[in-house]
Amino acid sequence: MQSILRTKSIRKIMSRFKNKRVLITGGASGIGRIMGKLALEKGAELIIWDINPQSIEETVTELQHLGKVTAYVVDISDIDQIKTIATKVKLECGTVDILINNAGIVVGKYFDHHSTADIKCTMDINASAPMYVTAEFLSQMIIQKSGHICNIASSAGFISNPRMSVYAASKWAVIGWSDSLRLEMKMRKTGVNVSTVTPYYISTGMFAGVKSLIPLLKPDKVAIRIVNGIERNRVLISMPFSMHFIRICQGLLSIQLFDWVAGSVLQIYKTMDHFTGRT
């Protein structure tokens, strides 16, 4: 009997992507591309938003044999583009069932070295765009009484870090908004679920040059954890497990003592010293 129930449970989990439309921002590179591949393998229809036409072409060519893939060139720092392309998606593809707000950028500088453009671009893409994109598709999810919104934040949304002040600010914003949205959807019984993802550094070009005692996360494993988390309706998808320990330390230790643990013991505060990022 237990074996039968377990089989039914697995089938229920595995069906959450099947025949669903999945939209991934930043879906033509990094973990976005990997998550798109996983979604297609689970029977979903994939919609990619990305700013890079060449990466889009390569990704569509790579993935189209797995299922239906529709791609759009979008600069999500531009709210007018978001609105225009969202309208096209609704007309050409239909209702989005699963939205993964994945696109992001990082500027690895001391705050006083940031230009106004650096600050605006980081906040527009990392903090504002997930809200704008979600606003375009949420009403349809509420009407159909089902849907899932997954917001890729960062462990930098929990831990302050030198040379990441604006990036950290943008990810703190995402975490606060994302979990508040989850509570709103739950309280109103909309049937729309929300997951917030807070990974440590991922070994992609976005964080090239980062040096860390805590091993960088592998993109494939991160993508799998996120997709599995959506299937299981996980509220918070945090990785690696040591991030939970760090958050406990933040609650128990004084700021000065936590700074010593994070800065001198774990050397987190030095991780961006040799950052280069994507060229």
Which SS3 state, helix, strand or coil, does residue 58 take? Answer: helix
3-17, 24-38, 150-164, 190-204: least confidently modelled range: 3-17
Residue in this structure with the two tokens 């009403």, named with its chain if needed: 139
Omega before 162 within 30 of 0, i.e. cis: no
Does the global pTM surpass 0.75? Answer: yes
Instruction: Summarize pLDDT for 69-80 with one digit per residue, the tens.
Output: 999 999 999 999
Domains of the chain: 2-270 (3.40.50.720)
Question: Can you say whether residue 4 is alpha, beta or left, with left for phi > 0 and alpha for psi between -120 and 50 degrees?
Answer: alpha
Contact 97, 141 (CB under 8 A): yes
> Residue 245's pLDDT is what?
84
Q: State how far the Cα of 262 lies from the Cα of 48, in Å rounded to an integer.
A: 37
Written as six digits, the tokens of 47 are 């919609």
Identify whether 167 is a catalytic site residue.
yes
Looking only at the bridges linking them, the beta strands covering 98-101 and 69-73 are unpaired
Q: Are 71 and 56 in contact (CB under 8 A)?
A: yes
Cα 61 from Cα 155, distance rounded (Å): 33
Q: Which residues contact 246 (CB under 8 A, 6 or more apart)?
A: 155, 158, 159, 262, 266
pLDDT in tens, 138-165: 999 999 999 999 999 999 999 999 999 9
Q: Which residue among 167, 200, 201, 269 is the active-site one?
A: 167
The rounded mean pLDDT for the chain is: 93
